Amino acid sequence: MKRPTFPSFTHTSQPVQNLNELDEAQASTGDRAADWVAKIVGSWGFILGQLVLLIIWIILNITAWVQHWDPYPFILMNLFLSMQAAFTAPIIMMSQNRQANRDRLEAHNDFLINKQAEEEIRAILQHLEAQNEALTEIHQLLADMNLKREES
């Protein structure tokens, strides 16, 4: 009688890598600065702080508590806000591009993990099929032995 053999499975895939650590290790000083600016500018604290500064600016220039350095219609304030927007927008775009690259890496990493899981599931299913065949043979042998014992 032939003994059933079970297919063996060897893991050939790379271990899963932490993309947060990889991303942090590869980030340049400019990348970190862009992320920091995007984080700060995209917060309620920044918006409220800027609102408070603008209100103070307007009040000081309307009430003339100090010398008018920017009388109504606040052209200097508009210039500063325009300069801030001109510098902030490209920096935020740099951070967004970096995030998009990170998302692509993460999607690729997910694909590799899914591929590895699929290979392992396929190996498990093959192993289960071999076990089913072996159990069928064992049941058949037991049935044959019981039949011989009943005949004798």
Mean pLDDT of the chain: 89
pLDDT top residue among 65 and 82? 82
**Segment 47-60, tens digit of pLDDT:** 999 999 999 999 99
Decide if 55 is inside a domain.
yes
Structure tokens belonging to residue 127: 């192993």
Decide if 12 is inside a domain.
no
**Segment 105-120, tens digit of pLDDT:** 899 989 989 999 999 9
Long-range (24+ apart) CB contacts under 8 A made by 17-23 are 17/109, 19/102, 19/105, 19/106, 19/109, 22/105, 23/102, 23/105
Decide if 5 is inside a domain.
no
Decide if 1 is inside a domain.
no
Decide if 3 is inside a domain.
no
Decide if 127 is inside a domain.
yes
Q: Structural domain of residue 78, as residue ranges?
A: 29-151
Q: Please provide the size of the chain in residues.
A: 152
Is the pLDDT reported for residue 126 higher than 60?
yes
For the chain, the domain total comes to 1
- Average of pLDDT values for 113-141? 93
pLDDT at 72: 87
**Segment 15-34, tens digit of pLDDT:** 777 888 888 888 899 999 99
Nearest to 122 by CA among 1, 7, 2: 7
Q: Quick one: DSSP state of residue 43?
A: S
pLDDT at 11: 67
Is the pLDDT reported for residue 135 higher than 70?
yes
Neighbour count for residue 61 (Cβ, 10 Å): 19
Decide if 133 is inside a domain.
yes
Decide if 4 is inside a domain.
no
